[in-house]
Amino acid sequence: MMMQQLKGTGVALVTPFDAKLRVDFEGLDKLLQLTTAGGINYFVVHGTTGEAATTTTEEKREILAFIKAHNPKGLPIVYGIGGNSTNDILQKIASTDFQGIAAILTVSPYYNRPSQEGIYLHYKAIADDCPVPIILYNVPSRTGSNLEATTVLRLSEHTNIWGIKEASGDLVQCLAIAKDKRDDFLLISGDDILTVTMIAIGAAGVVSTLANGFPSQVCQMVEATLRNDYMKARKYQFALLKMHELVSKVGNPVATKQILEVLAICKNYVRLPLARLSGEGIEKIRAAVGDLL
């Protein structure tokens, strides 16, 4: 069952750019090879890490087609389709070719700051209309509103809503979801730093940004935790701690692309309003990458 294939480690892929801020498909190919060899379980395309806010509709199509064509293990693809207009999302769904897409990841509406009833009706409309399953995405630090546990549990009753990427950082809220969710509803960590803790309370894995640069370490951490081997899991979590701190301070995907530049996967170019990392920040990331290799 496809739902089972979305357990473990999903990598929230960056979108590499060249010096002219065009999509760097050579860099993307290197990234797909690195993460596939590292053991990731599925790709997440066009999320926050992929700079979905500043890539065009045509670029999104080209990137998706490229990933489908350079996916030798046939790993599942979770495709980001989100926004703060329900009708616009439904139009995007109507114009999307879902061949090869396992599910969509759709962020809770931002800026509008809807009520919980508004959020529920937003997701219900998407789930009713979408030909593939839905993964909810709660990230209040970016959206300005929280997808509360009671609303998540209510939405989980919809047969086309398979899970939630939970990036609120609120473990009490995550516990409430884990306690009362149906057995096959996927609670997925949206914070690398909380992966071990989230799996310990019932999460199925993580959608990881650090897995772009360190897929093997993240995958082994997740696999160890799913086996209840917490001694090994803590070893990886603690080893990644410094990198977590740097990514949190610098911001994602700016720090993530800098990691990949150090690893010679792609350059650290980002599109405005994001700005490239420079100076001392680069040196700190270079040192932290060296510690992990």
Question: How does pLDDT run across 228-267, given as a tens digit for each residue?
Answer: 999 999 999 999 999 999 999 999 999 999 999 999 999 9
Q: Which residues are catalytic?
A: 137, 165
pTM of the model: 0.96
Q: What tens digit of pLDDT does each residue of 14-43 get?
A: 999 999 999 999 999 999 999 999 999 999
Contact 226, 199 (CB under 8 A): yes
Say yes or no to pLDDT of 1 above 60: no
Find the farthest-apart pair of alpha carbons in the chain and give their distance in angstroms, rounded: 50
Residue 293: predicted pLDDT: 82
Contact 176, 156 (CB under 8 A): no
Say yes or no to pLDDT of 2 above 70: no
Residue 288: predicted pLDDT: 94
Residue 3: predicted pLDDT: 66
DSSP of the chain, one letter per residue?
A: -HHHHTSEEEEE----B-TTS-B-HHHHHHHHHHHHHTT--EEEESSTTTTGGGS-HHHHHHHHHHHHHT-TT---EEEE---S-HHHHHHHHHT---TT--EEEEEPPPSS---HHHHHHHHHHHHHH-SS-EEEEE-HHHHSS---HHHHHHHTTSTTEEEEEE-S--HHHHHHHHHHS-TTSEEEE--GGGHHHHHHTT--EEEESGGGT-HHHHHHHHHHHHTT-HHHHHHHHHHTHHHHHHHHHH-TTHHHHHHHHHTTSS-----TTS----THHHHHHHHHHHHH-
Q: What tens digit of pLDDT does each residue of 141-190 get?
A: 999 999 999 999 999 999 999 999 999 999 999 999 999 999 999 999 99
Residue 78: predicted pLDDT: 98
